[in-house]
Structure formats: structure tokens, C-alpha cells
Amino acid sequence: MPLERRELYSSPNGDRWFLSRDPATGDVFIRHEANIPSGGRHTDVEIGDFLSGGRRNPEHQALLHLIGTLVEGVPQTGRDQRGVLAERRHGQRHRGRDHRPGSSRQQ
């Protein structure tokens, strides 16, 4: 089964980086495809390894930007002082109510 992938960056020399996923295993990684003069080989790198080492080349910046888009426009959830999500539904807390479908019973 072919990889699912999204191009992150294409360098002026023809190297390309992709955020890739193997649908058979669910593994997600970065695939670097070297340009033809460099041999045109591909290298797969785990995302953690790709981002470690403090490098901030354009391909790293592109991945970080893509990750950042996952939280754009997402409303912040309420958290208590311990960082635990506060349960909120329709702006009201559910106190002693049975919220199973078809149930109108109060405890």
C-alpha cells in the first residue's frame, strides 16, 4: 500500500521533505528525498529525531508550522490549577444528573 504523504518543503537544489504515514502500520515519519544529482535516494527519519538537535532549517520550520496549524482557531478548554480539564457542556456543569440517552432521572 503506498505511503500517505504531504510535502513539507522543497529546497532550491531539489531535495524534498514529506510528512509521511504508512497506512499498514500507522507509523508517521519524515521522508527526505535527495535530488537526482545526489543519488535520488530517500531516507526515513522519526519525527522526534528530525526535530531534535536544535536545527531550525526550512524543512524543520515547515513541520513546526504545520503542527501549529492544528491548534489555530481551537477554543481553549478550561483547566483547573492542576492542569486537569474542567468538564463543560453548554456552559453548565452537570451536577448529579443522569445524561444517558432517554434518561430524565435526577440523582
pLDDT of 103 reads 43
* DSSP reduced 3-state for 59: helix
pLDDT truncated to tens, each residue of the chain (107 aa)?
899 999 999 999 999 999 999 999 999 999 999 999 999 999 999 999 999 977 789 999 999 999 999 988 777 665 555 555 554 444 444 444 444 444 444 44
**C-alpha dihedral sign at 99, 102, 106, 107:** negative
Q: Let me know: does 56 contact 39? Beta carbons within 8 Å.
A: no
Using an 8 Å Cβ cutoff, are 78 and 88 in contact? yes
pLDDT of 74 reads: 73
